[in-house]
Structure 1
Amino acid sequence: MSTIQQNIELAIERWRSESVSQHTLSDSSAYFRLAESLPLTDLDAATTLAEIFQHELTFIPTSRNSGDWFIWNGIIHAKDEKNLVDDYLATEFANALKKTADYATKYLADSTMSDEDKAAGRKGMADLYKYARSIRSAGGLNSLKTRIRYEFQQAPDFFDHDQRWAVMSDGRVIDLENVDEEPLAPCPERPVSRHLGVSQSGQWPAPASLPTRWAQALSDWTPDKEVQDYLRIAAGAALLGHGDAKNIVTLVGLSHTGKSTYINVLREVFGTYAGELPPTAIVQKYGGATNFEQHKARGKRFLYLSEPQKQRTDDAFLKALSGGGDTITTSKKGQDGVEWQAQCVLHIAANHIPEFDTSDDAIVGRMNIVGFDHVFSPESMQRNKNLVQELIEHEGSGIMFWILDGAREYLKLGHIPVPTSIRKRSQENVVESSAALMWLKEMVDSGELVIDPDAYMKDMITPKDGYAMFSRWCFDNGEQLPTQKKWLKDIEAFNHMPAERKGKRSDGHARVWGVRQSAHRESRKLHLVQDGGSTDFRDLLTQLETVPTVQ
């Protein structure tokens, strides 16, 4: 018999003993009162069991006819892998009712009451005998199990509403709305089903200094203190579970640079709040097929994946996952879909900067690239294969406080500050991910164009002229030509065009925000006009740009 089954049996037996002990059974009317005090319908039985176990048992439906049972284990509501709780409840209740009926029958037979009173007592117990027999049949037991599941049922997203809490491995709970307060005692009324992999060691709310080996490891991996602060606040935002950071922490470096060690340490600290996302989870399925891998992101706060594939990205999923705020609908295979919102800060570890095949610039813009640039020698401490285990064993509590400190700062700032070094590297990636921005960079570097958001709108180039130049560049460089709308959107986003300028015109023409021709190019035009006499200006532009006809 499993521990769960034993606990259920003991609780129901305790309830049965207390129920029977309230009746002396000294006369026939007592048998009536005993029968009337017991639940003799499936509804009453399920309600009674719910009162016995209160918040300790929870049923979460996953489809019309099935679901998952969760059991309070003193720390969290843990999923019952055997998923037989309703069977245990129904069986043990049926046994308890039979035991009560057998006890009453024997007590009645051994009593000194008259035959007439005994007959009256048996009549009073008739409904108990009948129900006790019916629920021991296969059909009766299944009927009771169905009612039990309904009575213990909570909404599919019941355990998703746990962002206020972070449960430590010993069961004590950090109130993330009052981080500096002492941890709270475990309580089954909280909808918590996950826990950290470490617990408090030492004083609360935080130790005086960063753990020595963890501080050294961070300095070895990323010597820039601002970058270390970025990682700390990103980890803190992940712990809070708000899912609104609009950041994809992208660790890039060759093998043996420490990026995997960093990910693995945080995975151990976050415990079951952490989860690994397969690279295929962010890939768009053909024909709108369901990507069941995406369900693995649900409820995770520290979510990580390695070496994403360059395939068509599921833009809506990845955008929502990285702070878009939209509702996500996923499911396990064979189960109903569940709506949820991301709680995570997504971390990616890759040997090279990931190349996403995406049409959503916001996704690329959220990729903040943290370079792990130093390859450690085989003799280095960073190549110690037991480093993760040693850091968790000796400094796990301190690393948790390091993350909590990041959570405090995120709550204070409301965002994750991105250092200039990361922003510059990420901006280069945005450019490299957009043909329009690669073209713009070349035009600026060559002196043909100037990025100048402060210029008069009348001096900014028109979309028609700019797109003609871009079309020729794509042809010369073998780049696929995006639509003019996509080209213009990339440039306007890159130049941070104010919303109020959208759709504005100057001299009757639309303009490409923040892009004007250089003074050198203007002087070339002026020179051609002066030398050409009455030459049509439109012909001069055509000669100047040497743009072929776009079919």
Structure 2
Amino acid sequence: MYEQIPQELKALPNWICWDAVPDPKSHSGIRKIPINPRTGGKAMSNNPSTWTDYDTAVRISENYSGIGFMFKNSGYFGVDLDDMPQDLESYQKGEHRGVIYEFVNILQSYTELSQSGNGIHIICKGKLPKGGRKKKTEKGGFEMYDDVRFFIMTGNSCSEYESIAECSDSIKPLHEKYIGGGHEPVAKAVPAVRLDTADQIIKAAAGAKNGGKFVSLYSGSTAGYTSQSEADMAFCSMLAFWTGCDAEKMDMIFRSSGLMREKWDRAQSGSTYGALTIQKAIADCDKTYSPKFAGGFSLNFKSPSEPISVGAVEQEETKPRLYSFDDTGNAERFVDLFGEQVRYCYTDKRWLWYDGRKWCIDMTGTVKRLADKAVACMAAEAKVYAQLDADEGTDMAKAFEKHMKSCRSNKSKNAMLSEVMHHVPVLPAQMDRFKTVLNTPGGVIDLRSGGISPHDPMTYLTKMTAVEYSENADCPRWLAFLDDIFRGDKDLIRYVQKAVGYSLTGSTTEQCAFFLYGTGRNGKSTFIDIIRDIFGDYAANIQPETIMVRSNQSTAINSDIARLKGARLVTSVEPNEGVRINEGLLKQLTGDDTVTARKLYGDEFEFKPEFKLWMATNHKPVIRGTDTGIWRRIHMIPFTVQIPEEKIDRRLKYKLSAELTGIFRWAVEGCLLWQKEGLKMPRAVLEEVREYRREMDVISAFVEDKCTVGKGLSVKSSQLFAAYLNWAEQNNEYRMSSTKFGMELAKRFEKVKGRGCNYYSGITLDEQV
């Protein structure tokens, strides 16, 4: 039954059994209990003595529902994708789409069907990135663990991958995309009471509502517990709450208590009884003490992915701030709680909130939920007014209860937020204004040095790359891919690396746009897709028509352009054959000019473009201009290799995606190279631009095809223009006006005024020779 489980996993002593017990509250209707195969008792994720070897677990599992694997200290992690029956069905049919296909093809590690039959488990070597471990979305459930959890193992392999792969890097983009590490704002403490020392912790715990239990256990009493070990665990659970799961402080306080005995330091399961008890208490702790807030309440997080919980805390050192019973007071309360983590932009008419790494446009009602929390926290203030009535003879509690009830209405909460707006304003110009920094999931990169610093809300970054940065990551497949598509041209590859690195910045000093040109099956689409995957929020895609000449086009107020503010990489693909670039707009967007734009239903605002345009195309867009101003901006990167149909790797993009962290490092290195060397076009790019310019020069083509050039020759201007119009019609070329034609000819040949007509000197039509 379990033959397909990889042998390297079977060799580890991390195996348990599990049993299903009815649980009406559970989504599946059952609860999966981890079982110690040796004793039949409950297996614990932090106690290896409750685990066993694979063979024993399989043998004993006949009495239970099956076997499981504990991840702690194993060097492995598990990915659980559940509630995805449609995705699973399409994957089993061999269709190359859906979340399950994406995970399997990027990780390429042992995969089996989950016990529910509606998803899969993938087992991988390595460590998971920091951040959340669980997320439920409309696509299904996503869970990833490398500690304090076990996976039910079915042995029902469902992929071509029989071995376990090292996936520490390849899991990062998937983790960021589907789980991430951001979270909604946490209320700000006003003021805070810190518990830094053991004495402060003991004093606070003893004075709390359940302080009697704490004092009893601290003094050594085990009354009410079936054993001293149970009392030890109860006391450690209290200590986990009050110390914020600080194992060192927990151990220090326990040793000073009346519960301390020799057993605390007794060796057990490769550790000690005391250390294992503390670990268990920390693992089971879902709420910790945090400093008190004005109003006598606290908001606590165990992890960014878990919801905020609200609990009463006694106020010891300060009196809480009290607010007026109106919209202004409600707004002041909200600002005290969340003012540093929300902003309102009057220009865009939008709320923003800070998730710990970037400022997010509120598209899902986050700020409204914070308003709900602010109202919920008023309950703690009711006790303060009751105490005031008792101490000072006031009659405030009843009035506050009436006010609090009215605050629950939608009208009142909207009024509160309306009053908050002017307290937390922000302008578009304040957002993403630092051109030499790049926000990533792991911190902010200084692109001048390559160094990384912690996130800071006051930098007002609204964008973030999709990939973490690592100085040690490599990308051998990517380098081989570049070598293939650019025919081993080292100068061209170095130039492309610098161009991508330059695109990471907000600088437009090079004043250029990149055109990736070549017929199909040459790797340009894969190249641009991979680069875009790294940039994350810094990337945007536009339809080719946005920068092409269109009828009734307004470039001053354009929502297509407005959404490009703050972007660093703008991609576009496959313009139609024969379309013409809006040269004035391209100059404006690639220069240092200020652009006026307006988002849909928003007010006008000005910004300076920071993005670099990358267009992949099989057809060269038409450029009518002949001036240096337009042609110096065109960087044409040739993709001359054509991969035979039979040699196309359909999974190449997924293989390259596994190296995104390394490719990101390659791009940052390119940025540093660009700052050192500049972006001089290599020979391959320079020749491609020259050829492009010759193709677009209609006048030169006409002269070469229909005229003779030489000293002493001349032709009437009207005859020459008529011949040009006839030639252009026959060859499907652009037909310019007589004025434009005359201006272009005058740049190359002398125009002479004669009696009744004008002549061009130094040129004549072939038919007149």
TM-score (norm 1): 0.71
The aligned residue for residue 163 of structure 1 is 435
Match of 1:404 among 663, 668, 671: 668
Deviations 1:342-383 (A, max 9, x none): 112111111122225679874455222222122112343xx2
1:226–1:419 CA contact under 8 A, matched in 2: yes
Deviations 1:498-545 (A, max 9, x none): xxxxxxxxxxxxx847x799xxxxxxxxxxxxxxxxxx9x99989983
- Relative to structure 1, the CA distance from residue 228 to residue 270 in structure 2 (aligned partners, 3 Å threshold; closer, same or farther) is same
Q: How does 1:302-317 map to 2 (within 5 A)?
A: 302-309=569-576, 310-311=578-579, 313-317=581-585
Q: How does 1:503-522 map to 2 (within 5 A)?
A: 512=747
1:56 matched to 2:275: no
1:192 matched to 2:469: no
The aligned residue for residue 367 of structure 1 is 634
The aligned residue for residue 429 of structure 1 is 692
Match of 1:83 among 365, 369, 373: 365
Aligned residues: 461
2:548–2:582 CA contact under 8 A, matched in 1: yes
Give, as a single letter, the amino acid of the residue that structure 2 aligns with 1:261. Answer: T
Aligned with 1:297: secondary structure? coil
1:40–1:131 CA contact under 8 A, matched in 2: yes
- Relative to structure 1, the CA distance from residue 136 to residue 216 in structure 2 (aligned partners, 3 Å threshold; closer, same or farther) is closer
2:597–2:604 CA contact under 8 A, matched in 1: yes
More displaced stretch, 3-12 vs 286-295: 3-12
The structure richer in strand per residue is 2
1:482 matched to 2:736: yes
Match of 1:266 among 517, 522, 531: 531
Q: How does 1:128-277 map to 2 (within 5 A)?
A: 132=404, 135-168=407-440, 170-179=441-450, 181=451, 183-203=452-472, 211-223=475-487, 224-277=489-542
Post-superposition offset of 1:142: 2.6
- Relative to structure 1, the CA distance from residue 313 to residue 225 in structure 2 (aligned partners, 3 Å threshold; closer, same or farther) is same
Aligned with 1:373: secondary structure? coil
Distance between the aligned counterparts of 1:189 and 1:466, measured in 2?
69
Give, as a single letter, the amino acid of the residue that structure 1 aligns with 2:459. Answer: R
- Relative to structure 1, the CA distance from residue 59 to residue 307 in structure 2 (aligned partners, 3 Å threshold; closer, same or farther) is same
Give, as a single letter, the amino acid of the residue that structure 2 aligns with 1:49. Answer: F
Aligned with 1:153: secondary structure? coil
1:369–1:422 CA contact under 8 A, matched in 2: yes
Match of 1:16 among 259, 281, 295: 295
Aligned with 1:15: secondary structure? coil
Aligned with 1:348: secondary structure? strand
- Relative to structure 1, the CA distance from residue 128 to residue 5 in structure 2 (aligned partners, 3 Å threshold; closer, same or farther) is farther
1:344 matched to 2:611: yes
Match of 1:292 among 540, 550, 559: 559
Aligned with 2:530: secondary structure? helix
Deviations 1:310-336 (A, max 9, x none): 445444432222x22222233333233
Aligned with 1:545: secondary structure? strand
Deviations 1:293-314 (A, max 9, x none): 3334332212110112344544
Post-superposition offset of 1:471: 2.6
2:347–2:428 CA contact under 8 A, matched in 1: yes
2:624–2:697 CA contact under 8 A, matched in 1: no
Give, as a single letter, the amino acid of the residue that structure 1 aligns with 2:709. Answer: E
2:464–2:535 CA contact under 8 A, matched in 1: yes
Aligned with 1:448: secondary structure? strand
2:708–2:764 CA contact under 8 A, matched in 1: no
Distance between the aligned counterparts of 1:408 and 1:80, measured in 2?
35
Post-superposition offset of 1:98: 5.1
1:448 matched to 2:709: yes
2:342–2:351 CA contact under 8 A, matched in 1: no
Give, as a single letter, the amino acid of the residue that structure 2 aligns with 1:225. Answer: K
Match of 1:96 among 371, 377, 381: 377
Match of 1:122 among 383, 395, 417: 395
- Relative to structure 1, the CA distance from residue 211 to residue 488 in structure 2 (aligned partners, 3 Å threshold; closer, same or farther) is farther
1:438 matched to 2:701: yes
Aligned with 2:680: secondary structure? coil
The aligned residue for residue 597 of structure 2 is 330
- Relative to structure 1, the CA distance from residue 369 to residue 137 in structure 2 (aligned partners, 3 Å threshold; closer, same or farther) is closer
Post-superposition offset of 1:148: 1.2
Post-superposition offset of 1:419: 1.8
Give, as a single letter, the amino acid of the residue that structure 2 aligns with 1:122. Answer: D
Distance between the aligned counterparts of 1:273 and 1:539, measured in 2?
56
Post-superposition offset of 1:154: 0.4
More displaced stretch, 214-223 vs 323-332: 323-332
Distance between the aligned counterparts of 2:536 and 2:579, measured in 1?
30
- Relative to structure 1, the CA distance from residue 543 to residue 278 in structure 2 (aligned partners, 3 Å threshold; closer, same or farther) is closer
The aligned residue for residue 67 of structure 1 is 350
Post-superposition offset of 1:82: 0.9
More displaced stretch, 38-47 vs 464-473: 464-473
- Relative to structure 1, the CA distance from residue 544 to residue 438 in structure 2 (aligned partners, 3 Å threshold; closer, same or farther) is closer
Post-superposition offset of 1:422: 1.8
Aligned with 2:498: secondary structure? helix
The aligned residue for residue 505 of structure 1 is none
1:391 matched to 2:656: yes
Post-superposition offset of 1:152: 2.0
Post-superposition offset of 1:267: 1.0
- Relative to structure 1, the CA distance from residue 4 to residue 239 in structure 2 (aligned partners, 3 Å threshold; closer, same or farther) is closer
Post-superposition offset of 1:149: 2.2
Post-superposition offset of 1:242: 1.1
The aligned residue for residue 545 of structure 1 is 764
1:285–1:291 CA contact under 8 A, matched in 2: no
Distance between the aligned counterparts of 2:763 and 2:538, measured in 1?
60
Post-superposition offset of 1:447: 6.7
Distance between the aligned counterparts of 1:143 and 1:344, measured in 2?
39
More displaced stretch, 310-319 vs 76-85: 310-319
Q: How does 1:21-60 map to 2 (within 5 A)?
A: 37-38=322-323, 42-43=327-328, 45-60=330-345
Give, as a single letter, the amino acid of the residue that structure 1 aligns with 2:485. Answer: W
RMSD value over aligned CA atoms? Answer: 4.2
Q: Which has the higher contact order (CA 8 A, sep 6+)?
A: 1
Give, as a single letter, the amino acid of the residue that structure 2 aligns with 1:344. Answer: F
- Relative to structure 1, the CA distance from residue 485 to residue 138 in structure 2 (aligned partners, 3 Å threshold; closer, same or farther) is same
Identity %: 20
- Relative to structure 1, the CA distance from residue 386 to residue 10 in structure 2 (aligned partners, 3 Å threshold; closer, same or farther) is farther
Distance between the aligned counterparts of 1:56 and 1:378, measured in 2?
53
Post-superposition offset of 1:137: 4.9
- Relative to structure 1, the CA distance from residue 441 to residue 219 in structure 2 (aligned partners, 3 Å threshold; closer, same or farther) is farther
Distance between the aligned counterparts of 2:601 and 2:520, measured in 1?
39
- Relative to structure 1, the CA distance from residue 412 to residue 138 in structure 2 (aligned partners, 3 Å threshold; closer, same or farther) is same
Distance between the aligned counterparts of 1:546 and 1:187, measured in 2?
70
Query: Where in structure 1 are there 5+ consecutive unaligned residues?
Result: 26-32, 451-458, 492-510, 518-535
